[in-house]
Amino acid sequence: MTTRTVLLFLFFSFCFAKGYFFQKNPKRFQKKDTTLIQWINKSKSTDSIRDLIYTTMSQDILLAVDYAHAFLAKSKKNDLGMQYLAYYDLGVAYYRNSEYQKTIKYVDSALTVIPDGVLKKTRTLSGYLLKGSAYVDNRQYKKALEIFLLGEKLIDPKDDLTQYRISFLNNIGIIRIEIQEFEEALTSFKEIFELMEALKDDENFLIEDYTSVILHLALSYYETGDIDNAIKYNNIGLELSRDHNLKENQGIFLMNIGEVFIKKGEPDVALKKLYESQKLLDDNNSNVNFLLTNYYIAKVLYIKSEYNSAHNVLIENFELIKDREKSEIKNILEMYDLAYLCAEKLEDDAKQLAYSNAYRSIQKILYQNDTDTRREIYKENIEGLRHKNQTLSLKNIENKKTLIIVIILLAIVIIFSIYKTVVYNKKIKKSKILFNQLQEKINTAPAKSKSKKTSVLTDEKAQNLIEKLKILEKELFYIKMDCNLYNTAKQLETNTVYLSKVLNQYKQKSFTEYLNTLRIDYFLEILKTDSRFMSYTIKGIGEELGYKSVNTFVKAFKNQTSLTPSYYLKQIKKNKNESDLH
């Protein structure tokens, strides 16, 4: 299911003392105003200075940064309370300018100077929210989660800080969804829903925030497989949006309901809901939700074997986004993958090639974006270390002992780097050996002899069950997303306890081990004949094999092969390219 990223909702409604509007704007329109900086130095009104900074943020962010630095310089001559506000405002200004490492730096400084008093806890929480937000926008989700969990833990149930609690829980839930921890996300959104239900009569209650929580609650139910509750809460959100004339939200809920019915296997109902969504979102037909609705419509049409119609809908999407950065479009890879499948059904070789090339190109950009983010973080850290080393050298230039210590530290760093390189090379060498052994095993062993020898069946009932299981294996039951012990036992007309007992006794495996073995063996075998798998993301491959979580797929693959799927695919592609050259 799809959802808009509604991160830090309610955050700015109570974190900023003045309730300033939060919008990023990296451009400079004005020259540095020395008169106003002089005024900041002389002013006795902290509120007036902050009014100037936040008002300037909406017009010229870099000028606001100058004012915030002037406020910081002034604050260092005064009390810690003013220093906290100055550091915090500077963090906000850098966040507005998408300089997330600097945001984190100044928030950390703000957190160290918070004076004791009644505002200490709320100021700490505000700092955690801003710092967590910077980590999220920098795609450092694990660090963001740590900060938000720390903030949520800081709030005592007795504190009158319900809005803060909602904000932390919301961000925790959204990150859990992002990293595919859906059960944990569901727990967070259930709690937020209950908290917001109790706030309905509050004069500051925002229906937009409430519908956002319902949207994420429905999504969490959907991802955990609870279809009935997913439909229930999407319908609740839809009715609320209609009652309050939230047209965009109506379209989103209808889109999500359509997606649920796709999964439920009711394409006609899904298509009806999606067309309703399309009409509501049509006012701005290049927005992400309209594009997603079109994608789901195309998906349903493909399921109904209306390949030409599905293809035309996708072409409409591609036309709408032709001038946009495609890597920023939600589900863009899935759109091109579906377009490829449509072209395949329509036997259009030229379109197949074009869509395959577009898929690879976008995949490469997405990978490069992640690489650039990591490189920027590394660069910031190196710059910080370099600055510290320069300061240390200047202060201790005449101190030989300090110089020796620096040399020793550098030597340790170099030795450690060499050690890490050696370990890495050994790991690569070991991986190559494992890969070659696995390839030799796949290429030389007969297909029917891949499975381990099982115990001789003496129990007629167990023998019949194993024979039925073999029939299901031929039908590839194990790559279905809803394949589990309960559903398999149901298909075999037995119970879960007996099926587990038979598998343990005659195959020496639990059901999960048995299922993983089938899926990984199938993947290794299918790669020989279906090269399209090589262009899939790891997540996409996992879903094709029936895994709901990419982490589960990676773990299962590594347990069976001692390699990661990404490394295995990389080596397969490398071997294929070398073979093509020769």
Q: Nearest-5° angle of CA 422, CA 424, CA 429?
A: 95
Residue 266: CB atoms within 10 A of its CB come to 15
Q: What is the pLDDT of residue 128?
A: 95
Q: Decide: helix, strand or coil at residue 10.
A: coil
Contact between 197 and 217 under an 8 Å Cβ cutoff? The reply is: no
Position 582 scores a pLDDT of 53
Q: How confident is the model at residue 126 (pLDDT cuts 50, 70, 90)?
A: very high
Per-residue pLDDT, 205: 78
Which tens digits make up the pLDDT trace of 444-459?
Answer: 655 444 444 444 556 7
**Residue 254 in this model has a pLDDT that exceeds 80:** yes
The dihedral through the CA atoms of 88, 92, 95, 97 has a sign that is: negative
Report CA-CA distances (Å) from 151 to 53, 144, 169, 173, 246: 27, 11, 10, 14, 32
- Range 560-572 average pLDDT: 85
Q: Is the pLDDT of residue 84 over 90?
A: yes
Q: Is the pLDDT assigned to residue 395 strictly greater than 70? A: no
Residue linked to tokens 């609870």 = 226
Q: How far is CA 369 from the centre of its chain?
A: 14
Q: How far apart are CA 421 and CA 399, in angstroms?
A: 33
Q: What is the mean pLDDT of the chain?
A: 81
Model's pTM, two decimal places?
Answer: 0.58
Q: Which of 329-333, 364-368, 475-479, 494-498 has the lowest mean pLDDT?
A: 364-368
546 dihedral zone (left: phi>0; alpha: psi -120 to 50; beta): left
pLDDT band at 149 (very low <50, low <70, confident <90, very high): very high
Q: What percent of the chain has pLDDT over 70?
A: 79
Mean pLDDT for the stretch of residues 416-427: 72
What is residue 510's DSSP assignment?
-
Position 405 confidence tier, pLDDT thresholds 50, 70, 90: confident
C-alpha closest to that of 53 among 113, 242, 307, 62: 62
Nearest to 110 by CA among 97, 98, 95: 95
Q: Which domains does the chain have, with CATH numbers?
A: 1-179 (1.25.40.10), 447-581 (1.10.10.60)
Ramachandran bin of 325, using left for φ above 0, alpha for ψ from -120 to 50, beta for the remaining angles: beta
